[in-house]
Amino acid sequence: MTEKKNKKKSVNVNKIVEFKMNLNLKNLFLIGFIIFFLFYTFKSLYSEIKKTVPEKSIVTVVKEIKEGKVKKVEVFDNRIFVFYKDDKLAISYKEQSDSFLKIIQEAKIDPNTVEIIVKDTQSTNVLFNSLMNIIPTVLMIAFFIFLFRQAKGAQDSVFSFGQAKVKRFSKDMPKISFNDVAGVEEAKKELEEVVDFLKHPEKYKKLGARTPKGVLLVGPSGCGKTLLAKAVAGEANVPFFSIAGSEFMEMLVGIGAARVRDLFTTAKKNAPSIIFIDEIDAIGRARSLGLMPSHDEREQTLNQILVEMDGFTPTEQVVVIAATNRGDLLDPALLRPGRFDRRIILDYPDLEGRKAIIKIHAKGKPFSSNIDWEKVAKRTVGFSGADLENMLNEAAILAAREGKNKIDFENIEEAATKVKLGPEKKRLQSDFDKKLTAYHEAGHAIVSHFLPHTDPVHRISIVSRGIALGFTLIPPAKDKLHETKTNLLEKISVMMGGRAAEEIVFNELTTGAANDFDQATQTAKSMVVEYGMSDLGPINFGPTTDITEWGKTYFEQNPISQEMMAKIDQEIKKIISLCYQKAVEIIKEKRNLLDKVAEELIKKEALDQEEFEKIVGPKAKS
């Protein structure tokens, strides 16, 4: 026991020894303020105590001493504290120069009849008076020094506006390699070449090749542009500087251009190096052509980037990698060879790409052995890499919520639906609303099933998700690079299937088909205006867009006459009407199957492909 106590004591001693105080200007100012505050607090408390003690005149005190009522007297300068034999206390005052002993003697009182204590307060008074004079002065000086330092810091920050807020990736940061990226094999090869240029420049210089000055990554959100840049940072083993396009912009004029200069100067000092500018469309938009209002600050920043990228000497190995999902907005001068030599187009991953991405993000997660990953990859057509990662994460969360030890296919199916359509909403619906939704979704499914060129129905549900009261999921059985006119017309017929079922079964029109009409109209308009799939012929009535001339789409609108616009509207209406009539024919012909599917939906709320085909039969192969 004694040893333990000794150990505890030694620990406490160590703790006391380790206590340190940082006596900087701020802390000294704080300590002085606390002392000043405590002093005035003590003074105010003393005045309050003084009010509670009765005050008597010196004559009364002398008289009471003569009468033998006083036990003791304490003298503090001009204050006299009188202690009575009945334990009461009183205070009296005398003149500063008078002696209390002399006052008693003049009153012919024997000093021995009462205990008299005289206390020296001269030194204490001197100390308090000194503090009262010094402390306010010290506090005032410290306050002004603090203000000057703050002003100096603000002045320094004003002059630091021109410094780029660039983040440098170091070797200690978690590395992402090209092995962590999948579904964009062509882009990986292009960037692996750039990394190899920086690692082994001699191999390319022998053949007269120069390092590409810029690589532009263009593609939809979530397809891996930033992830590829992180992989380059992990693989390159050269200084990697990352900055967002919006970080160049500031309220002060000229700051964007100054930050561009500072960024490129830093990169040149550390050459060979890589600069990554994310969301470059924030500063790289096409400059004003007179039809749109200009933005001088952004244009100055863009001009500086153009100068810096074109001003490299052959010996400087600085590569600029930029990412954007709006390549059509970029200035043509930024895209020319000599600035961005390489343009890498990223798109949604195909079947093999989705398999590879799922394999990467499935690491570290326990899955059931019966999961068919081929089926999962086919189910997720149109998913980006970010969507797939989010899907597997949501599946893991769902499995954990249900108390499972492993993630099964049902969790993945629910997560995939949730990622695209949102979580389930258990809305209280009347029997009529539920029946209406069931027939609407069954109408989509029946029309799709009996058209020859459509894909199999994957899932039907009347459970609300997001803004939709129900959904019919018909993912493509395989990735398609082209769409035929027949396929597009059948897609529009499927969209019309919900309204056709409502009209035939209930002899009523509802608002539930609004989104179907929107998609159908957009598809029909594209067929007429862009694809030349109408009686108007193979003419493009929309804006002319060329992938080699990004930046001009906004300004080269094709003028169309009012007569031609009327013909376009008539063609769109004709396509929609024909497709709607086709949907009505199928619904009337398969009315008995429609009723069976709707009844089953009302009971179960959702049907998968096997349950649906058990009712209507397998889909005929086209």
The pLDDT value given to residue 211: 76
Asked if residue 356 lies in contact with residue 183, where contact means CB atoms within 8 angstroms, the answer is yes
The pLDDT value given to residue 5: 41
Q: Of the ranges 120-134, 524-538, 553-567, which one carries the lowest mean pLDDT score?
A: 120-134
Q: Of the ranges 110-119, 256-265, 356-365, which one carries the lowest mean pLDDT score?
A: 110-119
Whether the pLDDT of residue 548 is over 50: the answer is: no
The pLDDT value given to residue 170: 58
Asked if residue 506 lies in contact with residue 498, where contact means CB atoms within 8 angstroms, the answer is no
The pLDDT value given to residue 62: 77
- Which tens digits make up the pLDDT trace of 297-354? 777 788 788 888 776 555 467 888 888 888 777 888 888 887 888 888 888 888 888 8
Q: Is residue 254 part of a domain?
A: yes
Catalytic residues: 441
Place of tokens 């309050």: 48
Instruction: Pick the more confident residue, 167 or 493.
Output: 493
Q: Is residue 444 part of a domain?
A: yes
- The SS3 assignment for 162 reads helix
Q: Is residue 3 part of a domain?
A: no
The most distant pair of C-alpha atoms in the chain lies apart, rounded to whole Å, by 137
Q: Could you list the residue range(s) of the whole structural domain that residue 440 is in?
A: 424-616
Q: Within a 13 Å sphere around the CA of 17, how many CA atoms are in the beta-carbon half?
A: 6
Q: Is residue 5 part of a domain?
A: no
417 lies in the same domain as 322: no
Q: Which CATH number belongs to the domain containing residue 88 in this structure?
A: 3.30.720.210
- For the chain, what is the domain count? 4
Q: Is residue 515 part of a domain?
A: yes
DSSP letter assigned to residue 285:
B
Whether the pLDDT of residue 583 is over 50: the answer is: yes
**What is the C-alpha separation between 70 and 121, in angstroms, rounded?**
23
Tell me what the pLDDT averaged over the chain comes to. Answer: 78
**What is the C-alpha separation between 305 and 283, in angstroms, rounded?**
9
What average pLDDT does this structure show over 87-93? Answer: 76
Q: Of the ranges 188-197, 442-451, 518-527, which one carries the lowest mean pLDDT score?
A: 188-197
Whether the pLDDT of residue 208 is over 60: the answer is: yes
Asked if residue 622 lies in contact with residue 487, where contact means CB atoms within 8 angstroms, the answer is no
Q: Which CATH number belongs to the domain containing residue 385 in this structure?
A: 1.10.8.60
The pLDDT value given to residue 13: 41
Q: What angle do CA 556, 557, 562 make, to 5 degrees?
A: 150
**What is the C-alpha separation between 94 and 15, in angstroms, rounded?**
52
233 lies in the same domain as 113: no
Whether the pLDDT of residue 234 is over 90: the answer is: no
Instruction: Pick the more confident residue, 555 or 288.
Output: 288
The pLDDT value given to residue 4: 42
Q: Which CATH number belongs to the domain containing residue 332 in this structure?
A: 3.40.50.300
Which is nearest to 421 in space by CA: 463, 477, 361?
463
Q: How confident is the model at residue 598 (pLDDT cuts 50, 70, 90)?
A: very high
- Which tens digits make up the pLDDT trace of 58-69? 777 777 777 777
Does the pTM exceed 0.75?
Answer: no
The pLDDT value given to residue 449: 92
Q: How confident is the model at residue 578 (pLDDT cuts 50, 70, 90)?
A: very high
The pLDDT value given to residue 494: 94
The Cβ of residue 549 has, within 10 Å, a number of other Cβ atoms equal to 13
Q: Is residue 536 part of a domain?
A: yes
What tokens does 367 get? 């899955």
3-class DSSP string for 62-102: HHHHHCCCEEEEEEECCEEEEEECCCCEEEEECCCCCCHHH
CA 484 to chain centre: 40
Instruction: Pick the more confident residue, 37 or 464.
Output: 464
Q: Which of 285, 319, 345 is the last residue of a domain?
A: 345
Q: Which CATH number belongs to the domain containing residue 494 in this structure?
A: 1.20.58.760
Place of tokens 């991953």: 349
Q: Which of 421, 452, 478 is the last residue of a domain?
A: 421
Whether the pLDDT of residue 157 is over 50: the answer is: no
- By the 10 Å C-beta count (0-12 exposed, 13-18 middle, 19+ buried), 449 is classed as buried
The pLDDT value given to residue 444: 94
Helix (H) or strand (E) segment spanning residue 386: helix 385-401
The pLDDT value given to residue 428: 66
Helix (H) or strand (E) segment spanning residue 424: strand 424-425
The pLDDT value given to residue 113: 74
119 lies in the same domain as 171: no
Whether the pLDDT of residue 358 is over 70: the answer is: yes
Q: Of the ranges 169-183, 447-461, 571-585, which one carries the lowest mean pLDDT score?
A: 169-183
Give backbone dihedrals phi and psi of 533, rounded to 5 degrees, phi first.
Answer: -100, 45
479 lies in the same domain as 561: yes
- Which tens digits make up the pLDDT trace of 4-32? 444 444 444 444 444 444 555 566 666 76
255 lies in the same domain as 208: yes
Q: How confident is the model at residue 154 (pLDDT cuts 50, 70, 90)?
A: very low
369 lies in the same domain as 457: no
Per 3-state DSSP, the chain is made up of helix, strand and coil in percentages (nearest 5) of 55, 10, 30
Whether the pLDDT of residue 425 is over 60: the answer is: yes
283 lies in the same domain as 331: yes
Q: Which residues contact 554 (CB under 8 A, 6 or more apart)?
A: 286, 292, 328, 329
**What is the C-alpha separation between 95 and 56, in angstroms, rounded?**
14
Q: Within a 13 Å sphere around the CA of 525, how many CA atoms are in the beta-carbon half?
A: 10
Helix (H) or strand (E) segment spanning residue 115: strand 115-119
Sheet harboring 273-278: ordered strands across? 167-169, 240-244, 273-278, 318-324, 214-218, 342-345
Q: Which residues contact 147 (CB under 8 A, 6 or more apart)?
A: none
374 lies in the same domain as 277: no
Q: Is residue 6 part of a domain?
A: no
The Cβ of residue 42 has, within 10 Å, a number of other Cβ atoms equal to 10
Q: Is residue 107 part of a domain?
A: yes
Whether the pLDDT of residue 291 is over 60: the answer is: no
Q: Which residues contact 228 (CB under 8 A, 6 or more apart)?
A: 181, 184, 187, 188, 191, 217, 346
Q: What angle do CA 371, 372, 377 make, to 5 degrees?
A: 120
The Cβ of residue 542 has, within 10 Å, a number of other Cβ atoms equal to 15
311 lies in the same domain as 234: yes
The pLDDT value given to residue 427: 67
